[in-house]
Amino acid sequence: MAFSSDVRQEIARVAVTKRCCARAEVCAAVLCSGGLSFRGMGRYGLVIHGVNDEIAGRYIEVLRRFFRCQAALGTIETPRLGGLTRYQVMPPEGEVPRLLRELKLLDNTRLFGLRATPAREVLKDPCCRQSFLRGAYLAGGSTGNPKKAYHMELAVPEPELARCLVQLMKGLGVPARHTRRKTQQVVYLKDGEHMARMLAILGAHRSLLEFENLRILKNIRNEANRQVNCDNANVDKSLAASERQISMIRVIQKKMGLEKLPEPLAEMAELRLRHPDLSLGELGGMANPTLSKSGASARMRKLEAIAEELVNG
């Protein structure tokens, strides 16, 4: 299965044990993927959209256990998205105001009396901050294939909420960035180290282990590639130089003949023609008497000068 769906599935199975954490996670689900509407006179409509049946089932269970709320599971077929089934969690309308009150999402000082970001109290404890991020991830989170590139994101509907997530993550040692994509706000990470920390915060420990193994492999491979690239570059450079030297020597051969060269230069020219893949240092080692690398390259420069003179007449 793809890494991204593994991460989501693992997070969807993290146990919710405390009511404070249940509140934080459902609060995130409502803010990030809830259809929340004001219907006048203290009446509200609420639908939580789940990505799949497992996530929808998680929220039905959490609402029942921690909020004594019996929500219904709804499905919508989306022919335009290739017949994909979308899942919805729908608390009974009569219970929505109480639920919103318990989630601390009502605020009379705001438009329609609803908050766009979680109340400070909901994020008071570290356990709840992690739970809130878990809810945000299950609503709009995804992780790219770490074999290709490091990318993790949380998509949310409102910029205010995106800024809140950035702050929250920063406080947990994960510096995230925020950008807009079409109608969505995207909070994202591009750094392997930060992604690893985020996976730990979300409680995706199996995925974290896999992620870290991939990172180690990738680092080793990058290191090896750097080495090979470096070696290749050097080989390419000396081969190109050797080809140039050979074509110069061929000019001398054609226009005056190598035998007319002073003895030491003729020797160097012959050596180069016989061993196109050797470095100048190695050619110097084969000369009689042997030459240093700089001695060999001095002779090669003289050969090049002669060839140039011949070409230019």
* Token pair listed for 164: 């809140």
Using CB under 5 A as the binding rule, whether residue 28 contacts Zn ion is answered as: no
The binder of Zn ion chosen from 11, 21, 28, 201 (CB under 5 A): 21
Q: Which stretch binds Zn ion (CB under 5 A): 104-112, 117-125, 256-264, 288-296?
A: 117-125
Q: Which is nearer to Zn ion, 123 or 174 (CB)?
A: 123
The number of residues that bind Zn ion (CB under 5 A) is 6
Longest Cα separation, the chain? 108
- Least Cβ distance, residue 66 to Zn ion (angstroms): 11
Looking up tokens 């001095």, which residue turns up? 298
The least CB distance from residue 209 to Zn ion, in Å, is 25
Token pair recorded at residue 173 = 């040692």
Residue with tokens 């590139």: 149
* Options 127, 220, 235, 256; binder of Zn ion; rule CB under 5 A: 127
Instruction: Indicate whether 114 belongs to the interface with Zn ion (CB under 5 A).
Output: no
Tell me the per-residue interface mask from 138 to 157 with Zn ion, x by CB under 5 A, - otherwise: --------------------
Whole-number minimum distance, CB 134 to Zn ion, in Å? 11
Our CA angle for 245, 246, 250, nearest 5°, is 120
Q: Of 26-34, 126-134, 183-191, 286-294, which part binds Zn ion (CB under 5 A)? A: 126-134
Shortest separation between residue 24's beta carbon and Zn ion, angstroms: 6
Which listed range, 20-28, 183-191, 193-201, 230-238, lies at the site for Zn ion (CB under 5 A)? Answer: 20-28
- Site for Zn ion contains 128 (CB under 5 A): yes
Q: Does 20 bind Zn ion (CB under 5 A)?
A: yes
Token pair of 269 as six digits: 């020219």
Q: C-beta of 173: minimal distance to Zn ion in Å?
A: 18
Question: Both ends of the chain: CA-CA distance in Å?
Answer: 71
d(CA 12, CA 46): 21
* 16 sits near Zn ion (criterion: CB under 5 A): no
In the complex, the smallest distance separating the C-beta of residue 25 from Zn ion, rounded to whole angstroms, is 9
Sole window of 112-120, 121-129, 160-168, 194-202 interacting with Zn ion (rule: CB under 5 A): 121-129
Which residues in the 181-240 window bind Zn ion by CB under 5 A?
Answer: none
Give the tokens for residue 163: 């800024």
CB of 117 to Zn ion, least distance (A): 18
State the residues that interact with Zn ion by CB under 5 A. 18, 20-21, 125, 127-128
